[in-house]
Amino acid sequence: MAGAGKGRPALVRLDLNSPEFQAQFFALERTTLAQVVEVLDRLRKMAWIDVYRSPGLKWEKIGRTAPNGEPLYSLRITQKVRAVGFREGDYLRLVSLHPDHDSTYD
């Protein structure tokens, strides 16, 4: 596993540099923003295997591809907000946020 050392599983490293993600992130209302930040902080402390297994995050392939050709995945950030991103090595590269769950799949 990339990034894993001495038998420890690789932890998620976050990439939040997508302009689309940032525009949506900074437009969130204060309460929702605080919830999103809390989950992002929790994510960066998780091993990838835990992300895949987490019933709360609901990591699922959505049928579109990332710029690098990898499949895109949706994950639940809050009850209202989903994120779209892809794994590249140890990085979770988030490309967008969707306060309206249905827009995740468009």
Delimit the domains of the chain by residue range.
Answer: 13-105
pLDDT at 2 over 80: no
Q: What is the value of pTM for the model shown?
A: 0.85
Q: What is the 3-state secondary structure (H, E, C) of 24-43?
A: HHHCCCHHHHHHHHHHHHHH
Order of strands across the sheet with 13-15? 13-15, 91-98, 82-88, 71-76, 60-65
Q: Is 2 helix (H, G, I), strand (E, B) or coil?
A: coil
Give 1's pLDDT tier (boundaries 50, 70, 90): very low
Give kind and range of the element (H or E) at residue 62.
Answer: strand 60-65
Q: What gap in Å lies between CA 9 and CA 26, rounded to an integer?
A: 32
Query: From 3.30.70.260, 3.30.2310.20, 2.170.120.30, 3.40.50.150, which CATH number describes the 13-105 domain?
Result: 3.30.2310.20
State the pLDDT at residue 68. 87
Per residue in 29-63, pLDDT (tens digit) is 999 999 999 999 999 999 999 999 999 999 999 99
State the pLDDT at residue 8. 76
Q: What is the mean pLDDT of the chain?
A: 90
